[in-house]
Amino acid sequence: MRYLEHVKSAVLVILIALSMLLTFSIWTYTPPYAIRDTPPVIDIAIAEKKRTSDVVKPYRMLLSYSGAAGMKGSLSSNEMDGTLGLMRMWSLDSPRLIDNEAQPDEINTALRAQNQIVFSYPTEIPIQSFRQVIPFADEAIPDFSFDHLAVHWESGANGLNAHVTFINTVSQRIFEADVLNSDVQDFLMRVEDMDRRLPIYNEIGRENQLSLYVSSVQLPLEEYTFGLEEISPEKFKNALFTNPNMVRSNPVGAASQQYTDDSALMNIDYGPRRISYVHPASETELPGDSARLITNSIEFVNEHEGWTDDYRLSRINANTQQISYQLHLKGLPVYSDSMATDLTQYWGLNDVYRYIRPYYTLNQSSPFRTARKQLPSGQFIYDYLASQENIDVNLITDIKPGYYVRRDPSQPILVLEPYWYYQVSGTWVRIVPEVSGGGAIGLE
């Protein structure tokens, strides 16, 4: 019996020990939780980012050099970029107002002055945006805008002096700034080289109106054929909506698709390959600021790296907070009556209200077919327009070449043909002399 009691005691001790061990194990046990996958990061990068100097560019350069046989000119982006590149090394003093109500004749005189290069811009450029192209010595400068920039040089007692004139043909104000302590010799060497190479431009004077400037020689340009390359609308959905996973998609007939969530809507128009995004809560009737519009619009597109082609500033309306960037090919604007060709934003309360743009891109590096076309001179085009009974040349504000894009209905290709255009009331009109009666197609 005594032996049995010892066995019972031993068993009891073992059971107590096991109980304590199990209790300790339960208290200290940590289960191996499964590690969940990190939610996938949505890639919203579509193409590339750009700077102000990449999208705010002149479309024409005129050169008046002493001793030259008339005014020379160029539409080449390479020529203008190279010249402006030298000017970026300069520093300007604070601009001063020299004319507050310049009449057309005064502006014409300022534009044709000798020893001068004039850059023409498609819309009024706020000086606060331009200072990102050429720096100013003073932080505080007057607030104004311009659509023509003239660089003038002359010999002085202390050597060569240069100044920059900012001309606004709309507000009729002219500002001037001196070039400070900058070496302009490289600039003048480039001027002399261009004066030897560039073609002559004619000034077409009109009584009490701004002059027109047109080339005096024929203009050889290429016609391009590209494959139609589309950017998936899903990429824009991911970029523009706050929570892309909550966006609903619905077809709207056979010609469009609609994406919606609780706060925004995006339409996809298959025909013109156009995206139209709207965020109603941001709408406002308050006017904006042109410089802020440029900054905000560039940053907005940069956020999704949406510069799919060469888009350049073409229009600003601060009152409606509208800003547009026109598609360009080889430095010339691209227009169409069947395809989307501009990137337009309407801004509201600290955010974009509407965003309209193409969702196709031109593979500019590799067109699969080209053909050389010889456009007549700008002077010929002006004379042709003057001969048309239904056209008042006094209403024309500019004449320039551009591309017209059309889509081949039988296959997925785009054909871009060079044409001359003239501008009336802000609208560019394609000149098609071969059409019976000299008809033309108006393009917004």
Tens of pLDDT, residue by residue over 384-431, are 999 999 999 999 999 999 999 999 888 889 999 999 999 999 999 999
- Asked if residue 92 is part of any domain, the answer here is yes
Pick the closest to residue 184 from 89, 120, 272, 98 (CA basis): 89
- Asked if residue 35 is part of any domain, the answer here is no
Pick the closest to residue 238 from 39, 48, 43, 47 (CA basis): 43
pLDDT at residue 160, as a whole number: 76
299: number of CA atoms within 13 Å, CB side?
10
How many angstroms separate the Cα of 117 from the Cα of each of 66, 149, 162? Answer: 12, 8, 11
Domain count for the chain? 2
Per DSSP, 39 falls in state P
pLDDT at 71 over 50: yes
Minimum mean pLDDT range among 4-13, 39-48, 53-62, 298-307: 4-13
Put residue 26 in one of left, alpha, beta given phi > 0 → left and psi -120 to 50 → alpha: alpha
pLDDT at 125 over 70: yes
- Asked if residue 43 is part of any domain, the answer here is no
On whether both 184 and 243 belong to a single domain, the answer is no
Pick the closest to residue 231 from 365, 48, 39 (CA basis): 48
On whether both 205 and 253 belong to a single domain, the answer is no
On whether both 150 and 59 belong to a single domain, the answer is yes
Q: Contacts by 148-151 with C-beta closer than 8 Å and gap 24+? A: 148/111, 148/118, 148/119, 148/120, 148/121, 149/58, 149/118, 149/119, 149/121, 150/110, 150/111, 150/113, 150/116, 150/117, 150/118, 150/119, 151/87, 151/116, 151/117, 151/118, 151/187
Q: Tokens representing 40? A: 């996938």
On whether both 312 and 400 belong to a single domain, the answer is yes
**Listed residues 200, 217, 234: the one ending a domain:** 217
Rounded CA separation 72/250 (Å) = 55
Rounded CA separation 25/11 (Å) = 21
- Asked if residue 244 is part of any domain, the answer here is yes
Higher per-residue pLDDT: 190 or 26: 190
Predicted confidence band at 22 (pLDDT cuts at 50, 70, 90)? Answer: low
Helices (H) and strands (E) in the chain, counts: 9, 26
- Asked if residue 213 is part of any domain, the answer here is yes
Q: Tokens representing 291? A: 């410089």
Predicted confidence band at 12 (pLDDT cuts at 50, 70, 90)? Answer: low
Strands in 188-309 per DSSP E = 200-204, 212-215, 219-227, 229-230, 248-252, 256-260, 265-269, 274-278
On whether both 170 and 276 belong to a single domain, the answer is no
Pick the closest to residue 308 from 234, 237, 362 (CA basis): 362
- Asked if residue 30 is part of any domain, the answer here is no
On whether both 164 and 264 belong to a single domain, the answer is no
How many angstroms separate the Cα of 200 from the Cα of each of 82, 188, 330, 334, 397? Answer: 20, 19, 21, 25, 20
On whether both 268 and 299 belong to a single domain, the answer is yes
Predicted confidence band at 23 (pLDDT cuts at 50, 70, 90)? Answer: low
CATH number, domain with residue 403: 3.30.310.160
On whether both 168 and 157 belong to a single domain, the answer is yes
- Asked if residue 32 is part of any domain, the answer here is no
Domain around 133: 52-217
- pLDDT (average), residues 349-360: 94
Give the amino acid at 177. A
pLDDT at 41 over 50: no
On whether both 224 and 210 belong to a single domain, the answer is no
On whether both 341 and 429 belong to a single domain, the answer is yes
How far from the centroid of its chain's Cα atoms is residue 93's Cα? Answer: 28
On whether both 182 and 317 belong to a single domain, the answer is no
Pick the closest to residue 72 from 206, 214, 219 (CA basis): 214
How many angstroms separate the Cα of 212 from the Cα of each of 39, 62, 123, 397, 443? Answer: 59, 12, 16, 7, 21
How far from the centroid of its chain's Cα atoms is residue 413's Cα? Answer: 24
**Listed residues 217, 232, 248: the one ending a domain:** 217
On whether both 357 and 236 belong to a single domain, the answer is yes
Pick the closest to residue 431 from 12, 442, 194 (CA basis): 442
pTM here is 0.87
- Asked if residue 22 is part of any domain, the answer here is no
pLDDT at residue 33, as a whole number: 38
**Listed residues 191, 217, 243: the one ending a domain:** 217
Question: What does the pLDDT look like over 133-190, one tens digit per residue?
Answer: 888 998 899 999 999 999 999 876 666 789 999 999 999 999 999 998 777 888 889 9
